[in-house]
Amino acid sequence: AHMYIRDGCPCLGGPMYERPLLEIGHLQELEMSVMLPKGTLLSEGVELTVASGYLPGNRVYHEAPYRATLKLHNIRIPTLIGLNQNERTAKQMVICSISIDPYCVASVDYYAHLEEIIVKSLEESAFETLESLAIHLTTRVIKHFVFPFTTRKPFPTVTIELVKPSATTFADAPVVTVSRSSDPDKDE
């Protein structure tokens, strides 16, 4: 992003505009989000948001907050969940969204592996409540995704949102959101 702001589009052999889109000398922070609507097989998309701070003179300010957040939007999986007898015999659609903030990996994006963990956990689930399923999912994501694939420090927070659209007649859907830190000093 810094190169595009300062020098224009390198793929076209140079600047594509006379004045830069943003005056980088006045820029203090830049946040950019990239959404891939077909980036995963079962979700509505994967999104990576990156923010960084700048100093005068076109230099990245390494002491400024740098942050990256990974989100998977609306993974739809038939899941065995519920308290009622009819809910214990047939799977219902559960929609899961997840974010990991901050998301720091050494080199490769592992969002397909994250989707695989979520899908497998939901398919194997037999929980009675969305709350217990959300807690189970955050634990599995921390254990099988955060610890093996991220840099751990700063310790990311995993946020899971579960929606069960078929649960109630007079409302759109119950929604449960659970956020847990992967820092062992904050959460065992």
Please write the tens of the pLDDT for every residue from 83-98. 877 777 888 889 999 9
Provide, rounded to the nearest whole percent, the portion of the chain with pLDDT above 90: 33
Cβ(152)–Cβ(146) below 8 Å: yes
What's the predicted TM-score (pTM) here? 0.78
Q: What is the pLDDT of residue 174?
A: 82
For the packed helices 111-123 and 130-141, what is the interaxial angle rounded to 10 degrees? 140
What six digits make up the tokens of 40? 């995963």
Cβ atoms within 10 Å of 79's Cβ, excluding its own:
23
Cβ(81)–Cβ(133) below 8 Å: yes
Q: Can you tell me the distance from the alpha carbon of 177 to that of 97, in angstroms, rounded to the nearest whole number?
A: 9
Whether the predicted pLDDT of 155 surpasses 80: yes
Whether the predicted pLDDT of 158 surpasses 90: yes
CA-based Rg of the chain, rounded to a whole angstrom?
A: 20
Q: What is the pLDDT of residue 134?
A: 94
How is residue 9 annotated by DSSP? B
